[in-house]
Amino acid sequence: MNSFPNVRIVLIETTHPGNIGASARAMKNMGFASLYLVSPRQFPHEKAIWRAASADDLVKQAVVCSSVEEAIKDCRLVIGTSARERRIPVPLLNPRTCGERVVAEARVGHEIAVLFGRESRGMKNEELQLCHYHVNIPTSEAYSSLNLAMAVQIICYEILCAGLIGDTPLQTTTQVEDKDTHGWDMPLATAEEVGYFFEHMEQTLEAIGFHDPANPRQLMTRLRRLFNRIRPDQMEISILRGILSAVDQLRADNPERNAEEMEER
Amino acid sequence: MNSFPNVRIVLIETTHPGNIGASARAMKNMGFASLYLVSPRQFPHEKAIWRAASADDLVKQAVVCSSVEEAIKDCRLVIGTSARERRIPVPLLNPRTCGERVVAEARVGHEIAVLFGRESRGMKNEELQLCHYHVNIPTSEAYSSLNLAMAVQIICYEILCAGLIGDTPLQTTTQVEDKDTHGWDMPLATAEEVGYFFEHMEQTLEAIGFHDPANPRQLMTRLRRLFNRIRPDQMEISILRGILSAVDQLRADNPERNAEEMEER
């Protein structure tokens, strides 16, 4: 499946064929299929196939070009990855804004290229000057040299994420997808059901001598806060009340013992 | 430079040493230094050093553990990476919300672990049950099997990005301004303390005949999920264990009754 048929990844003078394969896998994992190779050092090569795993089709179908110009000639948006600040800066994107721009332009049908330079020296100035934008992947200052395929992975990941968002604004994805909103397997308990559970718990804890209403020491306050934080579902409330009933039964079978005794001990 | 001294990356039973090295490089590129390895297949290994490039120091200083529990025992936030939907879901993050949550909690000093499973089979269910959150990296449906180090790269990248936003509010702080990060009155319990509580609870429930290990019917799975969702603080764990001890005592005072009797009834 090619989710981005009009977005190509262009690798320039890649030295290690393993990096070509790993880049192909990263691309296919994120829904990309179109790989261009500008003057690769060693290609075709078995290491590229091996590192590609199930993305070997991308490697076999890669378009090999002899210049960057040839690789991008039909493109309307060209973005170059660059680790360094350039003397004459061009508009700079971060991976996230790069993803958003690629998706926005892909949706209107533009052919788009994202360029990745050599493992050792990145992109040359004259290559960067062919680009509408530069994109800079943030790194630690202590060790900023990303593996080539890792850079491809991050850029493709950000394009995929931007694509998943659809036309809605980006900040909506930051919502935590948790049980309160999506995909839980049981309905949440109602406030009433939780209320009954608290009553039951208080009675049981008093009966076994753990809770003394005359000297409550925040116990029930803390337990209420704890269980309200969970927002239990109905199955969970049912399990918890089952446990309380088992304890009640244990006590009922032992009538000579009572809370006062417990306290004296 | 270690920008995230209290965030550890935990790789579980990694098969290929090259993936350990590539993960270490991905980590160091993003400002991480703390690598834990649970029962790696081949380690130490020259391939791990070679693929790490200038992150060989992380590989050499990696902490090797024999269990996931050991690797996370002092952690207050545990996140597991999972490709699959689980039958009993736990709160799910995407890499972006994962980054935001990790940064928010790292800022208040919590020890944090992000777990990555085996290349072939990911994380086991019982390992995922140790986690407060699962994080799922979006992929193409056609080829969803990410290389391990690529997954580490994406998660570390998102944490770095969330950290770059600085102390200004993230768009999402509404989601994370809760007990886990702000203004709680007690320290959160560590994974080890919660682990002891689960053991105690299971023993007590078995002793009172509520839990039958031979026929568990998801009981402990659901209870673990429930209490992991709470992320109890140390006072709460102490209250809960106090309740279990009171029940244990009640049972001990009544020696002729036992679990079998309960079941017969």
| Dihedral-angle region of residue A134 (phi above 0 means left; psi in -120 to 50 means alpha; beta otherwise) | beta
Q: Using the beta-carbon criterion (under 8 Å), do B250 and A246 form an inter-chain contact?
A: no
Percent of chain A with pLDDT over 90: 60
Q: What is the mean pLDDT of chain B?
A: 88
DSSP reduced 3-state for B196: helix
- So what's the pLDDT on residue B133? 92
Pairwise CA distance, residues A26 & B52, whole Å: 19
- So what's the pLDDT on residue B255? 61
**Which among A53, A219, A239 is the nearest to B239, CB-wise?**
A219
The two three-digit tokens of residue A17, written as one number? 């064929």
CA A72 to chain B, closest CA, distance in angstroms equals: 25
CA angle B40-B43-B48, nearest 5°? 105
- So what's the pLDDT on residue B52? 98
Pairwise CA distance, residues A94 & A85, whole Å: 13
Helix (H) or strand (E) holding A227: helix A219-230
Q: What is the dihedral of CA A154, A159, A160, A164, to 10 degrees?
A: 140
What counts of helices (H) and strands (E) characterise chain B? 12, 7
DSSP reduced 3-state for B6: coil
Percent of chain B with pLDDT over 90: 70
- So what's the pLDDT on residue B166? 62
Is pLDDT at B242 greater than 50 in this prediction?
Answer: yes
Q: What's the pLDDT tens digit per position in A3-17?
A: 899 999 999 999 999
Taking the CA of residue A93 as centre, how many other CA atoms within 13 Å lie in the half-sphere pointing to its CB? 21
Mean pLDDT of B124-142: 92
Mean pLDDT of B55-82: 96
Is pLDDT at B172 greater than 50 in this prediction?
Answer: no
Mean pLDDT of B98-118: 95
Q: What single-letter amino acid sits at A7?
A: V
The two three-digit tokens of residue B151, written as one number? 């997954």
- DSSP state letters, A183-201: --SSPBPPHHHHHHHHHHH
> In this structure, are strands A112-116 and A77-81 parallel, antiparallel, or unpaired?
parallel
CA B107 to chain A, closest CA, distance in angstroms equals: 18
- So what's the pLDDT on residue B20? 98
Mean pLDDT of B107-113: 93
Pairwise CA distance, residues A223 & B239, whole Å: 8
- So what's the pLDDT on residue A179? 46
- So what's the pLDDT on residue B171? 36
Is pLDDT at B28 greater than 50 in this prediction?
Answer: yes
Helix (H) or strand (E) holding A7: strand A7-12
DSSP reduced 3-state for A43: coil
| pLDDT band (50, 70, 90) for residue B229 | confident
Q: What are phi and psi of B165, to 5 degrees?
A: -70, -15
| pLDDT band (50, 70, 90) for residue B116 | very high
- So what's the pLDDT on residue B203? 95
Pairwise CA distance, residues B105 & B109, whole Å: 7
Q: What's the pLDDT tens digit per position in A169-211?
A: 333 333 333 444 345 678 888 878 888 999 999 999 999 999 9
Which residue in B has a C-alpha nearest to residue A205's C-alpha? B243
CA B72 to chain A, closest CA, distance in angstroms equals: 22
The two three-digit tokens of residue B183, written as one number? 């203004």
Mean pLDDT of B44-61: 98
Q: What is the mean pLDDT of chain A?
A: 86
Q: What's the pLDDT tens digit per position in A57-95?
A: 999 999 999 999 999 988 889 999 987 665 556 688 999
Q: Which of chain B's residues have a Cβ under 8 Å away from the Cβ of A28?
A: 140, 142-143
Is pLDDT at B43 greater than 80 in this prediction?
Answer: yes
In 3D space, the residue among B46, B72, B96, B83 whose CA is nearest the CA of residue B195 turns out to be B72
Q: Which residue has the higher pLDDT, A2 or A162?
A: A162
Q: Which of chain B's residues have a Cβ under 8 Å away from the Cβ of A54?
A: 143, 145
Is pLDDT at A225 greater than 90 in this prediction?
Answer: no
On whether the CB atoms of residues B154 and A150 are closer than 8 A, the answer is no
- So what's the pLDDT on residue B258? 52
Is pLDDT at B185 greater than 60 in this prediction?
Answer: yes
Is pLDDT at A219 greater than 80 in this prediction?
Answer: yes
* Sheet arrangement for strand B92-93: B63-65, B34-38, B7-12, B112-116, B77-81, B133-135, B92-93
Pairwise CA distance, residues A80 & A75, whole Å: 13
Q: What's the pLDDT tens digit per position in A231-262?
A: 788 899 999 999 999 999 988 887 655 545 54
- Angle at which helices A234-252 and A191-207 pack, to 10 degrees? 20
Q: Tokens 């934008």 label which residue?
A: A133
| All domains in chain B, ordered by first residue | 7-176 (3.40.1280.10), 191-264 (1.10.8.590)
DSSP reduced 3-state for A141: coil
Greatest mean pLDDT among A21-25, A187-191, B257-261 lies in A21-25
Mean pLDDT of B243-253: 91
Is pLDDT at B176 greater than 60 in this prediction?
Answer: no
Pairwise CA distance, residues B55 & A51, whole Å: 21
The gap from C-alpha A227 to its chain's centroid, in whole angstroms, comes to 29
The two three-digit tokens of residue A249, written as one number? 């039964």
Worst-scoring range by mean pLDDT, A153-157, B35-39, B248-252?
Answer: B248-252
- So what's the pLDDT on residue B170? 37
Percent of chain B with pLDDT over 70: 86
Q: Which of chain B's residues have a Cβ under 8 Å away from the Cβ of A174?
A: 96-97, 100, 170-172, 175
Stated length of chain A: 265
Is pLDDT at B141 greater than 70 in this prediction?
Answer: yes
The two three-digit tokens of residue A137, written as one number? 């992947």
B121: CB partners within 8 A, 6+ apart: none
On whether the CB atoms of residues A51 and A121 are closer than 8 A, the answer is no
Q: Using the beta-carbon criterion (under 8 Å), do B97 and A247 form an inter-chain contact?
A: no
Q: Which of chain A's residues have a Cβ under 8 Å away from the Cβ of B157?
A: 95, 137-138, 154
Q: Using the beta-carbon criterion (under 8 Å), do B230 and A230 form an inter-chain contact?
A: yes
CA A137 to chain B, closest CA, distance in angstroms equals: 9
The two three-digit tokens of residue B142, written as one number? 């056609």
B218: CB partners within 8 A, 6+ apart: B88
Worst-scoring range by mean pLDDT, A34-48, B219-233, B234-248?
Answer: B219-233
| pLDDT band (50, 70, 90) for residue A1 | low
On whether the CB atoms of residues A135 and A155 are closer than 8 A, the answer is yes
Q: What's the pLDDT tens digit per position in A131-143?
A: 888 999 999 999 9
Q: What's the pLDDT tens digit per position in B10-25?
A: 999 999 999 999 999 9
| pLDDT band (50, 70, 90) for residue B97 | very high
Q: Tokens 């790490």 label which residue?
A: B52
